[in-house]
Amino acid sequence: MLTRRTVLGTAAVLAAPASVRAQPAPIRIGEINSYSAIPSFTLPYRNGWQLAMDRINASGGVLGRKLEIISRDDTGKPQDAVRLAGELLDEQKVDILAGGYLSNVGLALSDVAQQRRRLYIAGEPLSDALVWQKGNRYCFRLRPSTYMQAAMLVEEAAKLPAKRWVSVAPNYEYGLSTVKWFKALLSAKRPDVTFAGEQWPALGKIDAGATAAALAEAQPDAILNVTFGPDLTNFVRQGNTRGLFDNRSVVSVLTGEPEYLDPLGDETPEGWIVTGYPQAQLTTAANTAFIAAYKARFNAVPGMGSVVGYSLIQSIAAGIRRAGALDADKLIDGFSGATFETPFGPASYRALDHQGTLGTFVGKTAIRDGKGIMVDWHYANGAAYLPSDQEVRALRPSAG
């Protein structure tokens, strides 16, 4: 029966706004990346962090608060990244900075973090300097560095009978550093190897035919390739046509990542030893769930960038939970040693140098159904491919 009480009671219930307890302010993360400069990596990367943020918020957030990510485009220039970091810290009042792709942007952000005494969690920048020569206590880095990737590949390269090596790497810090570490680590394991030649094509402007011919002229047994992206596609095609890879072993960094492997298509050279991400072949529970959730949300298959974005936010959530507060010193203590979940399994940030132990997969390339994939792969845990603690301490600035 419709009484006055019923009507008034219903109206009161409907009219009561947040008589439910008030929502606490969200934790804000300021994310900066090179969205316009390297869209092939950063767009899957953004999907990855959006997925992570939604999942964390769906299961209650962090410390009872939701996560909010404010994202900016640094156009690949460190000076823009620095200015935007200032905007995020001062205008948007973010609690933590994150992101970065290029190493110089990562270093600039790390410097801002130190100056402003706020945390910066670097996702993709691979330069060793970020945690070693120019490391500081406010900067943490997720992905395995050039040293670690080189070490993982050296482990396989040392098993090859090859003695005479040549290298081809893009002419900037990433290429220089990878080749340097590869040479040093391989020579330590195999004193009999020689490095007979090297090529340094400018990034994005490789003269693939000339480079391939120059490498072949040195008559190597094996080749170290550090080129990626369109340079890699160009190099592979010219190398295939000119028979550069016939009867030669090739060790190639990052080539197993879907972003770089897919454009090779049915020209994927077989038998290359690469680091990368085997995607759906990795049938661990964590990865299968990740791929399913990603597909459901974005109707696409995740790439390596997606794994980095997802793992980055998961690591930040784990670090904040462990810290229990958003004050910088507590955060540093919380992040140092924090363990977090990634599609590759659990990983953590080392207290010694703030380097993440997230590893990558090492395997061989092959062609299935006209597409390149990784086979015979195994997971290389980042923690196992780092130099001794003494060496690390010697590399880091004494202010720590």
Partner 1 sequence: MRFLAIQFLTGLSGSASLFLMSAGLTIIFGVTRVVNFAHGSLYMLGAYIGWSILTRIPHDPIWFAAGVIAAALATAGIGAAIETVLLRRLYRAPELFQLLATFGVMLVIQDLTLLIWGPNDLALPRASWLRGSVTIFGGHFPAYDLILIAIGPAVLAVLLLLLNRTRFGMLIRACTENRDLAAALGVNHRILSTSVFALGAGLAGLGGALILPDTSANTQMDLAVIVEAFVVVVVGGMGSVTGAFLASLMFGELQAFGIVLIPGATLVLVFVIMAVVLSVRPRGLLGDAPIMSVVSASGKPVRPVSLCIQAFGWGLVIMAATAPFWMPSYWLSVLTEILIAALFASSLHLIMGPGGMISFGHAAWFGLGAYSSALMSRTLSAPMPLALLAAPLTAGLVALAFGWFVVRLSGVYLAMLTLAFAQIVWAAATQWTWLTGGDDGILGVWPSGPVPFFWWVLSLSAASIWLLRRVARSPFGLALTAARDSEPRALSIGLRADRLRLVAFAVSGAAAGLAGGVFTFTSGSVFPSYIAVGKSVDVLLMVLLGGINTVIGPVAGAVAYTGFYDLLLQTTSLWRLALGLTIVTLVLAFPDGLAGNRRRWRP
Query: From the CB of 320, what's the least distance to partner 1, in Å?
Result: 24
CB of 224 closer than 8 Å to CB of 182: yes
233 vs 279 by CB, closer to partner 1: 233
Residue 61: CB minimum distance to partner 1, A: 26
Query: Smallest distance from the beta carbon of 95 to partner 1, in angstroms?
Result: 16
Min dist CB 38 to partner 1, Å, is 8
- Least distance in angstroms from the C-beta of 91 to partner 1: 5
Q: Residue 346 CB, nearest distance to partner 1 (Å)?
A: 30
Nearer to partner 1, 213 or 395 (CB): 213
Q: Which is nearer to partner 1, 91 or 270 (CB)?
A: 91
Write out the chain in H/E/C secondary structure. Answer: CCCHHHHHHHHHHHHCCCCCCCCCCCEEEEEEECCCCCHHHHHHHHHHHHHHHHHHHHCCCECCECEEEEEEECCCCHHHHHHHHHHHHHCCCCCEEEECCCHHHHHHHHHHHHHHCCCEEECCCCCHHHCCCCCCCCEEECCCCHHHHHHHHHHHHCCCCCCEEEEECCCCHHHHHHHHHHHHHHHHHCCCCEEEEEECCCCCCCCHHHHHHHHHHCCCCEEEECCCHHHHHHHHHHHHHHCCCCCCEEEEEEEECHHHHHHHHHHCCCCCEEEECCHHHCCCHHHHHHHHHHHHHHCCCCCHHHHHHHHHHHHHHHHHHHHCCCCHHHHHHHHCCCEEEECCEEEEECCCCCEECCCEEEEEEEEECCEEEEEEEEEECHHHHCCCHHHHHHHCCCCC
Q: In 10 A of CB 368, how many CB atoms?
A: 10
Selection from 240, 218, 236, 216 nearest residue 228 by Cα = 236
Q: Considering the complex, what minimum distance in angstroms separates the CB of residue 239 from partner 1? A: 10
Residue 390 sits at φ, ψ, to 5 deg, of: -60, -45
Residue 393 in contact with residue 155, Cβ under 8 Å? no
Beta carbon of residue 347, minimum distance to partner 1 (angstroms, whole number): 25
Q: Which is nearer to partner 1, 71 or 381 (CB)?
A: 71
Nearer to partner 1, 194 or 288 (CB): 194
Task: State the burial class of residue 371 (Cβ atoms within 10 Å of its Cβ: 0-12, 13-18, 19+).
Answer: middle
Q: Which residue lies nearer to partner 1 by CB, 204 or 346? A: 204
Of residues 30 and 319, the one with the C-beta less far from partner 1: 30
In the complex, least distance from residue 60 CB atom to partner 1, rounded to whole angstroms: 30
Q: Which two tokens stand for residue 106?
A: 């990562």
To partner 1, the closest distance from the beta carbon of 43 in angstroms equals: 5
Burial of 174 (0-12, 13-18, 19+ CB in 10 A): buried
Nearer to partner 1, 175 or 334 (CB): 175
Q: Looking at beta carbons only, is 170 or 334 nearer to partner 1? A: 170
> For residues 107 and 347, which CB has a smaller minimum distance to partner 1 in the complex?
107
Beta carbon of residue 265, minimum distance to partner 1 (angstroms, whole number): 5
Task: State which residue, 73 or 155, has the beta carbon closest to partner 1.
Answer: 73
